[in-house]
């Protein structure tokens, strides 16, 4: 998905230097960057949701919906990257790094979900805010599960810790979806 001339040039250079593990390191960088991008979006949205109050919720509600939909779209790109060959097993240290990044990703999303729950009273005053929020959260859950499915093949030695994170996120998503449905 994310080819650039720079990346291709870097790829060619490092191909000369280190022929082994090159491709998997390249794709692990893409996967790790994708998680970081989504984590940042989630953090930014948490700031927006945190600032929701009785005076501004009418204007902030649509921003929350847009922000969640934006995360859905970005996660779809991340899923495409995870499913783009070569889907090699990452080196051990990179597998550990992926779980670290995943753990931060889950923590930040759970912070966002917890803020969303705390603002449910205000956001549910407008009937058309709740359903798209719940729909976006369902989409995020489905895509994250698919990403996890693809990712596990690349980080088999970290399968246990990675699945623990995914299940923890699923559980928080489920709770929030129920509240917004």
Ligand X SMILES: *[C@@H]1O[C@H](CO)[C@@H](O)[C@H](O)[C@H]1NC(C)=O
We find the least distance from the C-beta atom of residue 55 to ligand X, in angstroms, to be 35
CB-nearer residue toward ligand X: 52 or 148: 148
Residue 151, class by beta-carbon neighbours within 10 Å (0-12 exposed, 13-18 middle, 19+ buried)? Answer: buried
- Give residues with Cβ within 8 angstroms of 146, minimum separation 6: 79
CB-nearer residue toward ligand X: 81 or 170: 170
CB-nearer residue toward ligand X: 104 or 175: 175
Selection from 51, 57, 169, 54 nearest residue 113 by Cα: 169
We find the least distance from the C-beta atom of residue 14 to ligand X, in angstroms, to be 39
Q: Which spans of this chain sit near ligand X (rule: CB under 6 A)?
A: 167, 170-171, 174
We find the least distance from the C-beta atom of residue 107 to ligand X, in angstroms, to be 16
- In the DSSP assignment, the letter for residue 126 is S
CB-nearer residue toward ligand X: 146 or 170: 170
We find the least distance from the C-beta atom of residue 96 to ligand X, in angstroms, to be 24
Cis amide leading into 86 (omega within 30): yes
Q: Which two tokens stand for residue 94?
A: 């990179």
């Amino acid at each position: 998905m994310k080819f650039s001339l720079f990346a291709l040039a870097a790829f060619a250079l490092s191909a000369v230097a280190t022929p082994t593990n090159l491709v998997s390191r390249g794709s692990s960088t893409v996967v790790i960057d994708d998680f970081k991008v989504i984590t940042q979006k989630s953090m930014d949205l948490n700031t927006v949701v945190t600032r929701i109050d009785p005076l501004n919720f009418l204007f902030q509600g649509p921003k929350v919906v847009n922000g969640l939909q934006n995360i859905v779209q970005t996660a779809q790109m991340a899923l495409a990257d995870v499913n783009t060959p070569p889907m090699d097993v990452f080196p051990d240290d990179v597998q550990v790094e992926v779980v670290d990044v995943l753990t931060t990703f889950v923590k930040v999303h759970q912070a966002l979900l917890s803020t969303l729950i705390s603002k449910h009273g205000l956001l549910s005053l407008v009937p058309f805010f709740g359903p798209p929020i719940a729909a976006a959260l369902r989409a995020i859950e489905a895509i994250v599960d698919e990403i996890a499915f693809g990712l596990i093949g690349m980080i088999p030695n970290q399968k246990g810790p990675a699945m623990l994170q995914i299940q923890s996120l699923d559980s928080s998503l489920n709770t929030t979806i129920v509240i917004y449905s």
